[in-house]
Amino acid sequence: MIQGNQGSMYDVVVSGGGPAGAIAAYECARLGLDTVLLEKDVIPRKKCCAGGLLGRAVRSLPFELPASIVQKEIKGFAIEFGSYRKEFDFPNAVGYVLRRDDFDSYIIGKARGAGALILQNARTLHVEEVSDHVKLDSTAGRIDGRLLIVAEGVTGSTARFLVGQYPRTSMAVGRAVNVTTERDPGDKIAIHLVDTPTKRLRMKKDFPLNGWMFPHRRGANIGVVGSGVSKNRIEATLSMIREKVRERYGLMEGEEDLMAHPLPLVARKVLHTRRSMIVGDAAGLVNPITGEGMSYALASGRMAAHTAAEVINEEKGLEHLAVYDSRCKTSIIRDIKAAMFLSPFLHRIVGVVDTRRFFDNFHREGVLVRVCLDIARGEEDWHSLLIKTIPRFPRLFFSSLG
């Protein structure tokens, strides 16, 4: 069935209706561009995610985040490692926990409200960049656009077709489930340290097995993420976290469906082609320490939309799409690279030193704790943390040896 406005030429076609695609469609429509978004599922679709939205992402939203979709304000975190638990309290909230169903539906609604045409159950099958436009074949029929924004997540086929396969070895895999608790799980997220690359004597960019509990109003999202780890080990870790949550808050019967999804750990080198820009997870924009991707999905989606508006409204040539790459590089990718540099040191230090002593010492390093808070709020970036960690690293390391 043809749902699109076949025969007409859109200014921008967005493929994928997650946060990156929805915000791109919202901004394009708001900037006066004739915009259509194709989503292969129906939003809200199931999405495996812990739902943590840092203050920096919320600050960058071009609209309010309604209280009705906030499950919890995050006012601290706890590091758990075996029987050890160290709590960090924040003076103010640094972010929110949301359910992705609510958040994704909200942004799609905003895009529709701004004037974008939203086609659901519409999968992009094939794209071809011809001389003056992009031809897109989809399950909703043929769609033509002057520019394309690819927001299909890390497993999408269009980025693969345009700029090549995303390397499987650069992906972690996450599993998560929403549970209902008997008691209020508070307003701290819990990070469960499980494994470090040290165990495998590797000094590479890696995502050692970690787990979490993100509190909801009447329950929590619990999950595990890691790279190069067996399914059994992931399941066993999830069971361990489930037990800890049961002990602390009590667990009710009836979990939601357990979901799994890959997580890109390295940014793609090429983020645009002649008429296309790649945003969010499809571009590999995820923080390699925290697994946080929504801030970058929202930021890259907005940058792509602004670049599209400059090309179309201000009649800049197609070569202007390279500006999208450089905008991503100077903001998002600089941030990711700093985290990527810190990641093996952090994971290695945690494996070599006495982990409990390390977190006690880190807790005392007021400057580093403050930068982490400021990163979450969007007042500092990972590069600042890198710069401030280097001189403190020897002290932290030697004072944390067992």
Ligand X SMILES: Cc1cc2nc3c(=O)[nH]c(=O)nc-3n(C[C@H](O)[C@H](O)[C@H](O)COP(=O)(O)OP(=O)(O)OC[C@H]3O[C@@H](n4cnc5c(N)ncnc54)[C@H](O)[C@@H]3O)c2cc1C
Name residues whose C-beta falls within 8 Å of residue 49's C-beta, 6 or more positions apart in sequence. 100, 176, 221, 261, 294
Q: Does 52 bind ligand X (CB under 6 A)?
A: yes
Q: Name residues contacting ligand X, limited to 253-272 (CB under 6 A).
A: 261, 263
Distances in whole angstroms, Cα of residue 119 to Cα of each of 12, 21, 40, 124, 150: 14, 12, 8, 11, 15
Counting residues that bind ligand X (by CB under 6 A) gives 41
Nearest distance in Å: CB 82, ligand X:
23
Would you call the peptide bond into 44 cis, given omega within 30 degrees of 0 as the criterion? yes
Edge-first strand listing for the sheet containing 70-74: 52-54, 95-98, 70-74
Part of the chain binding ligand X (CB under 6 A), chosen from 15-23, 60-68, 110-118, 374-382:
15-23
Q: Which is nearer to ligand X, 292 or 349 (CB)?
A: 292
Nearest distance in Å: CB 106, ligand X:
14
Nearest distance in Å: CB 277, ligand X:
12
Report the residue from 4, 13, 14, 21 that binds ligand X according to the rule CB under 6 A. Answer: 21
Q: Does 223 bind ligand X (CB under 6 A)?
A: yes
Part of the chain binding ligand X (CB under 6 A), chosen from 2-10, 145-153, 197-205, 361-369:
145-153
- The site string for ligand X over 277-316 (x = CB under 6 A, - otherwise) reads ---xxx---x----xxxx--x-------------------
Nearest distance in Å: CB 177, ligand X:
10
Q: Does 17 bind ligand X (CB under 6 A)?
A: yes
Give the Cα separation of 140 and 37 in Å (integer). 11
Distances in whole angstroms, Cα of residue 56 to Cα of each of 52, 95, 201, 209, 293: 11, 8, 35, 26, 12
Report the residue from 3, 44, 45, 351 that binds ligand X according to the rule CB under 6 A. Answer: 45
**Residue for token digits 């808050």?**
249
Q: Does 234 bind ligand X (CB under 6 A)?
A: no
Q: How many Å is the maximal CA-CA distance in the chain? A: 70
**E-assigned strands of 130-218?**
134-138, 141-150, 171-180, 188-193, 210-216
Helical axes 355-364 vs 366-377, angle rounded to 10°: 80
Q: Which is nearer to ligand X, 265 or 349 (CB)?
A: 265
Q: Which is nearer to ligand X, 19 or 344 (CB)?
A: 19
Part of the chain binding ligand X (CB under 6 A), chosen from 3-11, 146-154, 344-352, 356-364:
146-154
Contact, 45 vs 87, CB < 8 A? no
Part of the chain binding ligand X (CB under 6 A), chosen from 1-9, 40-48, 66-74, 313-321:
40-48
Q: How far apart are the first and last CA of the chain?
A: 66
> What's the burial of 366, exposed, middle or buried (CB within 10 Å: 0-12/13-18/19+)?
exposed
Q: Which is nearer to ligand X, 290 or 361 (CB)?
A: 290
Nearest distance in Å: CB 97, ligand X:
8
Q: Does 108 bind ligand X (CB under 6 A)?
A: no
Give the Cα separation of 261 and 198 in Å (integer). 25
Positions in the binding site for ligand X (CB under 6 A) = 15-21, 38-41, 45, 47-52, 123-124, 151-153, 156-158, 174, 176, 223, 225, 261, 263, 280-282, 286, 291-294, 297
